Chains A and B, each alone.
Chain A
Amino acid sequence: MEIIRTVNLNLWYGSKQVLFDINMGIEKNRVTALIGPSGCGKSTLIRCFNRMNDLIDECRIEGSVIIDGYDIYSEDADPVEVRKKVGMVFQKPNPFPKSIYENVAYGARIQGVKDKKELDRIVERSLKQAWLWNEVKDRLNESALSLSGGQQQRLCIARALAIEPEIILMDEPCSALDPIATAKIEDLIDELEKKYTVVIVTHNMQQAARVSDYTGFLYLGKLIEFGETKQIFENPREELTEKYITGRFG
């Protein structure tokens, strides 16, 4: 069943239109990949799902994004509440300059958790879900910045999991990581989709083919094709899609 549905979604940066009439549905508890050449609007699109585009001054949106039956761009919607349901992991790992523990606890504190034991529990659970617990359990009070790139990214994932979102957005989460770390995270994604819905932006087609159940192909702000990953990669309907997949451009 669908958990996200965009309806005639258009977006402008200033006077330049960046997204054109996006109509798309994301399936619950599945991994959906968004692929396309640089600048095609994939990152912009997923930032619509947690209203991160609000942070940019000249950004204007028309249309709706319906999550769990509720239009998150309606008049009385609160972006802060939206972001508590839709978590995000960024391209470059961005742990806070705090301890590992505090990084993960931050999200829980936002939810109003104050009890130390409860926080400990949440931190342990999130780090375990991110497959990081064993590596850091003895040094939770050390600075998060002392971790390797791959570990930092898993920490960011744990941090996002700590708020127990329904949906996790990942904006090219592995592009700054080495192959081994990348492989770990791809396996992690596989595990995550059991409890969460994952939308992942990637410019690495092989990665999309590996991890996702559904794929959407964007080009110059338009959704060219959307469907099951197997179908997109083996039997694309659009010519443009086929050209991109076979590496003719992009």
Chain B
Amino acid sequence: MKMNKIKKFLPVCVVCIALAGCIGTRETISIAGSTTVLPIVQKCAERYMQLHPEVEIRVSGGGSSIGIKNVGDGIVNIGMASRDIKDSEKSNYPDLIKHVIAIDGIAIIVHPSNPLTNLTSEQLKGIYNGTYTRWEEFGWAGEIVVIGRDTASGTGEFFWEHVMKKENFTSGMLALPSNGAVHDKVASTQNAIGFVGIGYISDKVKALKLDGIEPKVENVKNRVYPLARELYLFTKGEPTGLTEYFINFVKSDEGQRIVEEEGFIPL
């Protein structure tokens, strides 16, 4: 009876190994980290693998902190981050090298039915630190549902530094694990407000002006939009081999075209 179980899975294993074997010796790299950077890197990886069929590039998310930690620990080859490395991380992983691959803006989004069109930085901070709790203060109605990111998020961390000025978020804030999750929650919750990388703006949500400036690519390029930041890939030491080729690809014209396609600002 044990033999039967083994017999059942043996063909599957054989097929897999055979399939893999057909590919011959493969080069593989793993990439993990920021969900803001993820769409860019994922698309680049797919394009790159199309051009180089013998190569495997594995991509996962998790947040900027996970990206930095995993590349520092040697679990992945490249760590994606939407924030800069912190002092504590520098001392843990002194040999991380930073590669800028794109510019990003952080957009404030609300539900399409929300009549608001603009917020000042002070108002935004007030919403996120709990000073304002109801939309009545802004000419609408209802309790403000504050959507934010969890602690692994570079986007969240950037927001905390630059909008909150390192003040605490309101305790009622819903901490979601990704840009995608924030987008979906705001799209389905009438009273919600959230922040996402501008690559995640869709017609399911409404993007607000911040201090009168629209979160458009041109405005980030021109450094007019207040919440702009760089997006990074981190490597442990100088990149070599497939890691180097891939990072160069991302920085190349073709890679930067993908950056633009995804709604970010090329270098």
A/B: CB atoms within 8 Å of each other: no
